[in-house]
Amino acid sequence: MVLEIVVMVKQVPDSQEVVIDPVTMNLNRSMTRNVTNRADENALEAALQIKDKVPANITIVSMGPPQAETTMIECLARGADRAVLVSDRAFGGADTYPTGLTVASAISKLDHFDIIIAGEESSDSSTGHVGPGVAEFLGIDQITYCSKIEFSDGRVTAERELEDGTEVVQCPTPVLVTMLLGSNFPRMQTLRRKIDATKKGIEVWNLEKLGLQPEWVGVRGSPTIVRRMQSIKERERAKKPVTLEAIPDMVKELYEKNILKVK
């Protein structure tokens, strides 16, 4: 039996060079380079590591604009078998609810899946809500914030990193897993695979293919709206120069201002 793994991938603006339009306060997408969300590269690598051990098929599913194709090619070039880009003007401006709905619909259109792997969060919306949303839409269990996953005997064993420790959990498939950013080292793309991927191409699915109503998706299907964007005002700080000799004065001042306290 071949294990069917789905990896959820998002293309995001490169956080290194985010440009914000000073007038609209929106992200200036024309000036930013797009990259694969880094945690999703860890998600793909986790899938590839399972495939290194057991026969598996890896399908990438991404909702995004046509230029997300570059990310899909990249994923194929790293070793994924199939890529589905869910793309339609109607999907634009989606918050986490319709994003989850759209991605879940696409996954439910695949013949079969055993494990869905997502990143812990996307660097541009950083909610971590899309993965669990998809699990709820599909009615399956989930294991979030994993540093490590393994598959054997129809079960996933994973380590979840929580605030106060590591939880080791086991769950039979089907299950959705989210991987932590930096949880593994994503393998390189190979040139050969890249050429193959470009030839093979990717599948593009639109609204009609998913059978969803236009008012359910994108900005129209989003319960939340952004009312305002404000730049967070940086407090101007004193930058008071303190020489080594003046350290006792600084310490005294900190105590007097109650910033340091005598216990």
Partner 1 sequence: MVGLQFAKPVDKPEEYRHVFVYLENGQGRLKRVALEMIGIGRELATKVNEELVGILIGDDISAMAEEAVSYGCDRVLGAQSKDLKDFRTVPYANLVGEFVMSEKPNVFLIPATRNGRDLASRIAVKCQAGVTADCTELDIEKDTRILSARRPTYGESMLAEILCRKHRPQMATARAGIFKVPEKVGGKPSGKIDIKNVKIDKKYLNKKIIEFRKKDRVDLTAADIVVSGGLGLGGPAGFKMLEQLAGEVGGVVGASRPTADLGWISRDHQVGQTGTTVRPKLYVAAGISGKIQHIMGMKGSETIIAINTDPNAEIVKYSDYFINADINKAIPAIIDAVKKYRTELAGGKKTKTPSQ
Ligand X SMILES: Nc1ncnc2c1ncn2[C@@H]1O[C@H](COP(=O)(O)O)[C@@H](O)[C@H]1O
Contacts (CB under 6 A) with ligand X, residues 58-87: 62-64
State the nearest-atom distance from the C-beta of 103 to partner 1, in Å. 11
Instruction: Tell me the backbone φ, ψ of residue 124, rounded to 5 degrees.
Output: -90, -35
Cβ-based nearer residue to partner 1, 79 or 128: 128
Q: How many amino acids of this chain bind ligand X (CB under 6 A)? A: 24
Per-residue interface string for the shown chain with ligand X, residues 115-144, x marking contact by CB under 6 A: ---xx-xx--xxxxxxx-------------
Residue type, 231: S
Which is nearer to ligand X, 39 or 158 (by Cβ)?
Answer: 39
The 10 Å Cβ neighbour count of residue 183 is 21
Per-residue x/- mask for ligand X, residues 21 to 40, rule CB under 6 A?
A: ----------------x-xx
Cis, bond preceding 65 (omega within 30 deg of 0):
no
Other beta carbons within 10 angstroms of residue 70's beta carbon come to 13
188 binding partner (options ligand X, partner 1, none; Cβ < 5 to 8 Å by kind): none
Give min distance, CB of 83 to ligand X, in A: 11
Q: What is the DSSP letter of 123?
A: T
132 binds, among partner 1, ligand X, none (CB under 5 to 8 A by kind): partner 1
Q: Are 196 and 76 in contact (CB under 8 A)?
A: yes
183 binds ligand X (CB under 6 A): no
Phi, psi of 109, deg, nearest 5: -85, -10
**Closest CB 251 distance from partner 1, rounded Å:** 4
Do 45 and 52 meet the contact criterion of CB atoms below 8 Å apart? Answer: no
Min CB(37)–ligand X separation in Å: 5
- Of the CA atoms within 13 Å of residue 202, those in its CB half-sphere come to 27
The total of other beta-carbon atoms located within 10 Å of residue 87's CB is 21
Give how far the C-alpha of residue 226 lies from the chain's centroid of Cα atoms, to the nearest Å: 21
The least distance separating partner 1 from the CB of residue 131, rounded to whole angstroms, comes to: 8
Residue 15's binding partner among partner 1, ligand X, none (Cβ under 5 to 8 angstroms by kind) is partner 1
Residue 207 tokens, joined:
């609204």
DSSP 8-state secondary structure symbol assigned to residue 236: P
**Identity of the amino acid at 226:** V
Minimum Å distance from CB 228 to ligand X?
A: 21
By the criterion CB under 6 A, which residues form the site for ligand X?
8-10, 37, 39-40, 43, 62-64, 96, 99, 103, 118-119, 121-122, 125-131
